[in-house]
A and B are shown apart, each in its own frame.
Chain A
Amino acid sequence: MRRAGLRMRVTAGFASGALALSTLMAGVSYQLTRTSLLAERERAAVRATYFDAAVVHGGLDTPDPDIGNILRSLDTGGTRRALLRRDGTWYARTADANITSAIPGLMQRQVEHGEPSMQRVRSDRHAALVVGVPLSQDTWFYEVHSLEELDQTLKLLALVLTAVAIMVAAGGATLGWYAARYATRPLRSVADAAQRIADGDLTARLDPTPDPDLTRLTTSFNDMVSQLSRRMEADRRFAADVSHELRSPLQTLAAAASVLARRTPQLDQRTATAAGLVTDEVARFQSLVNDLLELARSDQSADRGLVGIAGLARQACQAYHLPEDLIIADSDDEPWWVDHRRVRQILGNLLDNAIKYGDGPTAIRLLATGEDYVIEVEDHGPGVDPEDRDIIFDRFGRGRAARARGAGAGAGLGLAIVAQHASAHGGRVTVHDRSDGGARFRVELPRQAP
């Protein structure tokens, strides 16, 4: 299972902390309130029972009292019921058969021993409080106080406290979410900066922060990027300097080789072969140096202008002696806002690649979608192995088809230049399989307002 993100974990931590705390608080408040309300209720019940007992006691003092009437004269309201036991007989205000069963036997014995007593019971599934008072040797007075109202109050209280606990937990979660977001904000800006750097913007840096906790991160990050860009710049400059320094001797070689080539017929077999090798290799060396210099210019962004893409593709076809009907262009001949030189090289290098390793191109598609300008070159060759799909766009990276050609193949810079030109436009190049065999190279160049 994927591990939850930092933000999620912080949020969950805050939420469970808040929930635990609020549950504890709610539990304690509930208990305290309940105890205090019950005590209050008990005191009131005892008071009322004693008062009623005094009334009943007074009524019983008369000769031949009507116990039913005496009990009925009590102002008990709806919340308590009075009972009298005299000479082993139960008397009640109403004919309620079950009511005597509400009084526990243990309590009866206690009261019959002359001890006033009080006990909480459950009668008819309702909480009740029974208070018993001995009136004389053989007369005992009981009152059953309903605790239903108190019960409902406590239930409501429990409900409110539960709701509060849940809300506090939700509040904790929200707080955690925002706290995590706030705390990870520097991480996000680091991630953004890293992304910009990965996209080729080596000037991206983190803004300096006054926060002492973040200064170290910011400083080290910026130092790292500066060092990285210095090193890349040094590499680039080295490649450029090397290639540049090679140009002068190459010019001499190229001119001298052409003098040799012109005289090949007058040379003996061995010398002519050697001269041919020199001439061919000088030409290859020349294109290699040109490609290296092109790659060394990686820092320059695309110099966009309006380009008639169909005409450019036709010229590319002419240059490689390909039929122009390979080109499949959008119906509208809208010019593209791209770097002329780079797009020309993209077309040229893709065609060159298709000719060398793909048995020749079968289609050149030019599309302008809502977001991108798209160039696709399709071929009928063996396609590109999945494991080669990234390698072929690396400098000097050659796929299986190129390796198979050995020394006769290119140096593996052509597609790297295509990738570089695409990324100078903020775009990319990808290679796909065609359903009927062969490869499709697709270059996407994001549109930009002129």
Chain B
Amino acid sequence: MIEDDDRIRLSLLLALEDEGYTARGVPTAEEGLAAQQTDPADTVLVDLMLPGIDGFECIRQMRRGDDVPIVVISARDDTHDIVAALEAGADDYLVKPVAVKELSARLRALRRRARPAAPPNPILAFGDLEIVPDAGEVRRGGVPVAVTRTEFRLLCELANHPGQVLSRQQLLQRVWEYDFGDERLVDVHVGRLRQKIETDSSAPRRLVTVRGMGYKLQR
């Protein structure tokens, strides 16, 4: 947990340990990035307003070589901040004060995301795009594409229903396990995914938006 407020860090660590997690905390992004190199965590919680390197930059640097799930816990709730953090590579965004039960539910959902449901087909092919759910791999024209676990789970959900429209709320339920969630999560992740799997992400041809309905992946 990267959080500069000592009291918040201490109380959240206590609460998370109560929930059965092993948790460590550091006050700065620099220390967090170093710790992730030496002794990587399964999941990273990060605040946005940090001394030195700020949360956005921290997410970006951590994302560079790592698909570790990153959850933002911030007091900032402007659309601008939320979208910027998600675009930097965060998997989920929680606004302070977050209830411990809620945080725990989000972390469980993230861990499940690392193990997608057993698919009916070993390889899902959409033209030159290949998805191997068991191996957690995405290939485009035979070349592996690096995607985060959340992106992979999102892609699998869409690939398991080829040509079928999934609404943002359906995707929120299936990928993030939110009953009643923020649709910006889906939009930003779809945008990031397009940059990786589309030839021209501003004119998508595989992962298309169906106006007023949601998204679909087409062959």
Q: B-contacting residues of A (Cβ < 8 Å)?
A: 244, 247-256, 258-259, 262, 283, 286, 289, 293, 303, 306, 308, 311-312, 315-316, 318-319, 335, 340-341, 344
Complex partner residue of B5 from A248, A315, A318, CB under 8 angstroms: A248
Asked if B167 lies at the interface with its beta carbon under 8 angstroms from chain A, I say: yes
State whether B15 touches A248 (Cβ < 8 A): no
Once A252-B11, A256-B14 are accepted as A-B contacts, the answer to whether A286 and B97 lie under 8 Å apart by CB is yes
Once A259-B11, A259-B14 are accepted as A-B contacts, the answer to whether A247 and B96 lie under 8 Å apart by CB is yes
B169 and A315 form a contact (CB under 8 A): yes
Tell whether, in the assembled complex, residue A311 and residue B169 are in contact, meaning their CB atoms are under 8 Å apart.
yes
B residues sitting closer than 8 Å to A (CB atoms) are: 5, 7-8, 10-12, 14-15, 18, 73, 75, 77, 79, 95-101, 167, 169, 179-180, 182-183, 211-213
**Which residues of chain A are near B5, meaning CB under 8 Å?**
248, 251-252
Which of B8, B101, B180 lies at the interface centre, i.e. has the most chain A CB atoms within 10 A of its CB? B8
Give the residues in chain B near A308, CB-CB below 8 Å. Answer: 167, 169, 212-213
Q: How far is the CA of A244 from the CA of B12 in the complex (A)?
A: 19
Q: Which of B8, B18, B179, B180 makes the CB contact (< 8 A) with A252?
A: B8
A248 touches B101 (CB 8 A): no
In the bound complex, CA of A367 to CA of B180 (Å)? 22
Asked whether, in the complex, the Cβ of A255 is within 8 Å of the Cβ of B180, the reply is no
A248 vs B74: C-alpha distance when bound (angstroms): 9
Residue in A255, A262, A283, A306 whose beta carbon sits within 8 Å of that of B11 in the complex? A255
In angstroms, Cα B7 to Cα A218, docked, is 54
> B99 contacts A254, CB within 8 Å?
yes
* A254/B180 in contact, CB under 8 A: no
Determine whether the beta carbon of A286 is less than 8 Å from that of B99: yes
CB-CB under 8 A from A311, the residues of chain B are 167, 169
Contact: B180 with A253, CB < 8 Å? no
Given known pairs A259-B18, A311-B169, the reply for A244 and B75 (CB within 8 Å) is yes
Contact of B97 among A289, A306, A315, A340 (CB under 8 A): A289
Q: A255-B14, A258-B15, A259-B14 are in contact. Are A306 and B96 (CB under 8 A)?
A: no
A255's partner among B8, B79, B213 (CB-CB below 8 A) is B8
Task: Tell me the complex Cα distance, A306–B209, Å.
Answer: 12
Give the residues in chain A near B14, CB-CB below 8 Å: 255-256, 259
Q: Contact between B180 and A256 (Cβ–Cβ < 8 Å)?
A: no
A-B CB contact pairs (8 Å), 28 listed: A247-B95, A247-B96, A248-B8, A248-B96, A250-B97, A251-B5, A251-B11, A251-B12, A251-B97, A251-B98, A252-B7, A253-B11, A254-B97, A254-B99, A255-B12, A255-B100, A258-B18, A258-B99, A259-B11, A259-B14, A259-B15, A289-B97, A308-B169, A308-B213, A315-B180, A318-B179, A319-B180, A344-B180
Tell me the complex Cα distance, A318–B14, Å.
Answer: 32
Quote the shortest CB–CB distance from A296 to chain B (angstroms). 11
Residues of A within 8 A of B100 (CB): 254-255, 258
Q: For the complex, give the distance between the alpha carbons of A253 and B11 in Å.
A: 8
Chain B residues with Cβ under 8 A from A259's Cβ? 11, 14-15, 18
**Closest A residue to B74 using CB positions:** A247
**A293 CA to B213 CA in the complex, in Å?**
30
Q: When the two chains form their complex, are residues B97 and A247 in contact, meaning their CB atoms are under 8 A apart?
A: yes
Complex CA gap A252/B96 in Å reads: 10
Contacting pair A306 B167 (CB below 8 A): no
Closest to B212 in A: A306
Bound CA span A319–B181, Å: 11
Query: Which of B7, B167, B182: most chain A Cβ within 10 A?
Result: B7
Specify which chain B residues have a CB less than 8 angstroms from the CB of A256 in the assembled complex: 11, 14-15
The complex places the Cα of A312 from the Cα of B181 at a distance, in Å, of 11
**Which chain A residue has the least Cβ–Cβ distance from B11?**
A255
How far is it, in angstroms, between the C-alpha of A293 and the C-alpha of B95 when the chains are bound?
12
Instruction: Please give, as numbers and ranges, the residues of chain A lying within 8 Å of B211 by CB-CB distance.
Output: 306
Contacts of A251 in B (CB 8 A): 5, 8, 11-12, 73, 75, 96-98
Give the complex CA separation of A111 and B61 in angstroms.
Answer: 135
Interfacial chain B residues near A303, Cβ < 8 Å: 79
Given contacts A248-B8, A259-B11, contact A253 B97 (CB under 8 A): yes
A sample of 8 more A-B contacts (CB under 8 A), given A283-B99, A315-B169, is A247-B96, A250-B97, A251-B75, A256-B14, A258-B100, A311-B167, A335-B212, A335-B213
Centre residue among A251, A283, A308, A315 by max chain B CB count within 10 A: A251
Contact A250 B96 (CB under 8 A): yes
- Residues of chain A within 8 A (CB-CB) of B183 are 340
Query: What is the chain B residue whose CB lies nearest that of A256?
Result: B11
Q: How far is the CB of A381 from chain B (nearest CB, A)?
A: 25
- Output the nearest chain A residue to B211 by Cβ-Cβ distance: A306
- State the 4 A-B residue pairs at the shortest beta-carbon distance, nearest first: A306-B212, A255-B11, A258-B100, A250-B97
Bound: A311/B181 CA distance, A: 13
Chain B residues with CB under 8 Å of A306's CB are 211-213
Taking the closest CB of chain B, its distance from the CB of A119, in whole angstroms, is 101
